[in-house]
Amino acid sequence: MIRIGLIGEDPNDTKAIENLMRQKFDVGFHYKTISKNQRGSKMFGKNAVRSYNIELSSSAFNYVLVIVDADAIITENAKLQEKKEKYKELEKQLNCRCLLLLNIYELEALILADIAGFKDYYQTNITFKGSVAHVEKPKEFLQEKTGKKYKVSDCPTLFQHLNFDTIANNCPYFKAFIADFEKALKN
């Protein structure tokens, strides 16, 4: 059994990614969100790290997936680097092997990578063309296009209905993350 811990800015994010990952990595995998109370920017603080390590020491995790919103598009290098540096500092302090899923701009960019799944789930005619790595504020885009029907709290269930392969094919940073994850599993 491969035990995967998930750390993120919000429990909805970690559960959504768990549900997406289970489409390809389910049998032989166990997932658990770590320290659900550490939210937003607090996820990098000293209290959060202490909390994470307490949970990590009580269970033998093989890997921890750290899910972070970049709050920037792919061309905003300084902002992306800032989040990567925060992750590196966190990784040094955790007692487990870690992998980073840095969402460009936020988790909702992954939804745009499978807009057909989103359309089916919400019974809407929304369209999206272009690169998900260049969409600023995808959450607001989805809310606007659905008349506020889309809610962040829907993500855990919604991500069960999105297609893993479609997202990997349409989202370069998710595809790279999966390649890193599969490489880690081989080592």
Give per-residue pLDDT as tens, 38-72: 777 788 999 999 999 999 988 889 999 999 999 99
pTM of the model: 0.94
Residue 76, Ramachandran bin (φ over 0: left; ψ between -120 and 50: alpha; else beta) = beta
Predicted local distance difference test score (pLDDT) of residue 179:
98
Domain ranges, residue 137:
2-186
Structure tokens at 98: 């870690």
Domain tally, the chain: 1
Q: What is the mean pLDDT of residues 117-133?
A: 93
The answer to whether residues 171 and 178 touch, using CB atoms and an 8 Å cutoff, is no
CATH of the domain at 129: 3.40.50
